[in-house]
A and B are shown apart, each in its own frame.
Chain A
Amino acid sequence: QEKLAAKKKRRKEREALGDKAPPKAVPKTIENQRVYDETTVDPNDEEVAFDEATDEFAPYFNRQTVPKILITTSDRPRGRTVRFCEQLSSVIPNSHVYYRRGLALKRIIPQCIARDFTDLIVINEDRKIPNGLVLSHLPEGPTAHFRMSSVRLRKEIKRRGKEPTEHVPEVILNNFTTRLGHSIGRMFAALFPHDPQFIGRQVATFHNQRDYIFFRFHRYIFKSEKKVGIQELGPRFTLKLRSLQKGTFDSKFGEYEWIHKRREMDTSRRKFHL
């Protein structure tokens, strides 16, 4: 009540002053108040640039390898997960879905490497809905384990367009600021072939906000030079990073680069890691 009164008073003052009024105060958001993370990447940081040139994604970014992706699930996938896998494979070009009848991950990885796959995606499910995603870059690449939530299949999205075509989509990676975020962003970028086909006018977006990565898949169209219309097609989901491992998937002996430790990392509301 008091706040309302104060607000009204302030607005009247502003109108009364007219042009001489002080500029509008910027509201405080969590993004504004974010605790400064020392690992934020500077665009001109040499060390980071050097690292990126020599890490595991270098062959991809130098266009030596073409991404080839294997999507699989945990044991006994339920209908929803299966459908989600199919849709995901239609979004990512050059991807194949294989079912897993009890094959151990450790054994599947050498097979994948032998068959020339560059990336492996495992969708873990629980109670008939997919809830986890393991993304590993195959030839000895980093493995990222995410918790997936809010999965919408294509038919559940309102006002959506038709199916994604076979054109290579563009990729938008938003807001991946820190070192960790940067490496994850590159992992995502490595899933898609490097040359998007603009005729397809499709764009896949990975937007990071407060440690949640939102994935959307749209078709865009330029109505004029200042206006673009987007139409959502394709599934959508959100990911939250749980852990990042150096080598390929190994739950016991792997070398963890980053784990989400709830006790230490969730203490402050304004501190984010991605």
Chain B
Amino acid sequence: RTKTQNFCRNEYNLTGLCNRSSCPLANSQYATVREEKGRCYLYMKTIERAAFPRRLWERVLLSKNYEKALEEIDENLIYWPRFIRHKCKQRFTKITQYLIRIRKLTLKRQRKLVPLRRKIERREKRREEKALIAAQLDNAIEKELLERLKQDTYGDIYNFPIHAFDKALQQQDAESESESDAENEEEEEEEEDVDKREFVEAEDSDLSDFEDMDKLETSSEEEEEEEEEVEQKASRSKTKGKTPLKGPARRKRPYIEIEYEEETEPTTKTKAA
């Protein structure tokens, strides 16, 4: 309902509005154009048939050709009031235009709207939340990463693995300590410290993005280094079954010492202390 006009609900109405002049109920001589399944028909109502509701509306098929159909409307409504003729032709024009548009659209991709069921949506949402809580993603990811670290997928980038292997092997083997072992321990200590130093330095230069992480990291690593040294000194009876590694390590030893002499100065100081 617009401000000035009402809409007519009758399906045979010519314009859409409820007026005295365009109501099919109010006028006994009336005509409309309607289309069914893509074909347009001209419907006419005359006074003579007012008594017979079944035969009231007379239907004429209009040709598919636009101009011919207009002529047909004209010949059928020849002595009819101008208003009705004009409006019929207008309506027919509109109808053909929208039929053309429909045909064009069906050729292009159609967007199908699938209605979303509210109950189901709610259910899915709830289940998802619960699944998220059950998943404990962070823990899972951390575990997986540690697993991969243990399985040595990262190769030699990280130097922790030696400790991990130690602790694992400790439980299995029970070799007694030996001088060579002690030596190797010392060696590995130095190597580790050296390498750790390297590791930390590299991190600082490459990943200066992580300010906070860096600080955390470096501080924790320094602490760890000291702790490890203390640990190793205290418990020399720990066994390290990794003899195959120590061969090349031993060979590398003198070289490493020479190269990184300066860097290991602080560590030597702590050792002395």
Grouping DSSP codes into helix (H, G, I), strand (E, B) and loop, the A interface class, with mixed when no group exceeds half, is strand
Query: Across the interface, do A228 and B128 meet the contact criterion of CB distance under 8 Å?
Result: no
Q: Whose C-beta in chain A lies nearest to the C-beta of B134?
A: A209
> What separation, in Å, do the CA atoms of A170 and B141 have in the docked complex?
12
B141: contacting residue among A29, A161, A199, A205, CB under 8 A: A205
Starting from the known contacts A174-B140, A207-B137, A226-B146, 4 additional A-B residue pairs (CB-CB under 8 Å) come to A198-B154, A210-B130, A210-B134, A225-B161
With a cutoff of 8 Å between Cβ atoms, the chain B residues found around residue A149 in the complex are 124-125, 128
Best-surrounded residue of A161, A203, A216, A221 (most CB of chain B within 10 A): A221
Q: Which 6 A-B pairs have the closest CB atoms?
A: A225-B160, A209-B135, A210-B131, A209-B131, A212-B131, A228-B145
A residues 216-259 with Cβ under 8 Å of B?
A: 216, 218, 220-226, 228-231, 238, 240
Question: What is the CB-to-nearest-CB distance from A120 to chain B, in angstroms, rounded to a whole number?
Answer: 17
> What separation, in Å, do the CA atoms of A222 and B134 have in the docked complex?
25
Query: Across the interface, do A224 and B128 meet the contact criterion of CB distance under 8 Å?
Result: no
Best-surrounded residue of A172, A198, A209, A225 (most CB of chain B within 10 A): A225
Check if A104 is an interface residue, CB within 8 A of chain B.
yes
Q: A222-B158, A230-B142 are in contact. Are A214 and B132 (CB under 8 A)?
A: yes
Query: Across the interface, do A162 and B141 meet the contact criterion of CB distance under 8 Å?
Result: no
Query: Across the interface, do A212 and B120 meet the contact criterion of CB distance under 8 Å?
Result: no
> What separation, in Å, do the CA atoms of A244 and B7 have in the docked complex?
49
List, sorted by A's number, 23 A–B pairs whose CB atoms are closer than 8 Å: A29-B134, A30-B134, A149-B128, A170-B148, A198-B155, A205-B141, A207-B135, A209-B132, A210-B134, A214-B132, A221-B210, A221-B213, A222-B145, A222-B158, A222-B160, A224-B220, A224-B224, A225-B160, A225-B161, A225-B164, A230-B141, A230-B145, A238-B132
With a cutoff of 8 Å between Cβ atoms, the chain A residues found around residue B127 in the complex are 210, 212
> What separation, in Å, do the CA atoms of A218 and B144 have in the docked complex?
13
Question: What is the CB-to-nearest-CB distance from B253 to chain A, in angstroms, rounded to a whole number?
Answer: 23
Best-surrounded residue of B128, B154, B216 (most CB of chain A within 10 A): B128
A residues 147-186 with Cβ under 8 Å of B?
A: 149-150, 161-162, 170, 172, 174
> What separation, in Å, do the CA atoms of A168 and B138 have in the docked complex?
21
With a cutoff of 8 Å between Cβ atoms, the chain A residues found around residue B209 in the complex are 161-162
With a cutoff of 8 Å between Cβ atoms, the chain B residues found around residue A150 in the complex are 128
Q: Which of the four size classes fits the interface of chain B?
A: 35 or more
With a cutoff of 8 Å between Cβ atoms, the chain A residues found around residue B157 in the complex are 198-199
Question: What is the CB-to-nearest-CB distance from A203 to chain B, in angstroms, rounded to a whole number?
Answer: 7
Query: Across the interface, do A104 and B128 meet the contact criterion of CB distance under 8 Å?
Result: no
Check if B163 is an interface residue, CB within 8 A of chain A.
yes
Check if B56 is an interface residue, CB within 8 A of chain A.
no
Query: Across the interface, do B141 and A218 meet the contact criterion of CB distance under 8 Å?
Result: yes
Query: Across the interface, do A231 and B124 meet the contact criterion of CB distance under 8 Å?
Result: no
A31: contacting residue among B124, B134, B163, CB under 8 A: B134
> What separation, in Å, do the CA atoms of A91 and B42 have in the docked complex?
63
Check if A262 is an interface residue, CB within 8 A of chain B.
yes
Question: What is the CB-to-nearest-CB distance from B109 to chain A, in angstroms, rounded to a whole number?
Answer: 6
With a cutoff of 8 Å between Cβ atoms, the chain B residues found around residue A199 in the complex are 157, 206
Question: What is the CB-to-nearest-CB distance from B208 to chain A, in angstroms, rounded to a whole number?
Answer: 11
> What separation, in Å, do the CA atoms of A29 and B134 have in the docked complex?
9
Query: Across the interface, do A216 and B141 meet the contact criterion of CB distance under 8 Å?
Result: yes
Check if B149 is an interface residue, CB within 8 A of chain A.
yes
Q: A104-B109, A207-B140, A221-B217 are in contact. Are A228 and B146 (CB under 8 A)?
A: yes
Q: A174-B144, A230-B142 are in contact. Are A222 and B149 (CB under 8 A)?
A: yes
Interface string of B210-224 (1 = CB under 8 A from A): 100100110010001
With a cutoff of 8 Å between Cβ atoms, the chain B residues found around residue A226 in the complex are 146, 164
Question: What is the CB-to-nearest-CB distance from B255 to chain A, in angstroms, rounded to a whole number?
Answer: 25
With a cutoff of 8 Å between Cβ atoms, the chain A residues found around residue B217 in the complex are 221, 223
Q: Whose C-beta in chain A lies nearest to the C-beta of B116?
A: A126
Query: Across the interface, do A203 and B145 meet the contact criterion of CB distance under 8 Å?
Result: yes
> What separation, in Å, do the CA atoms of A161 and B209 have in the docked complex?
9
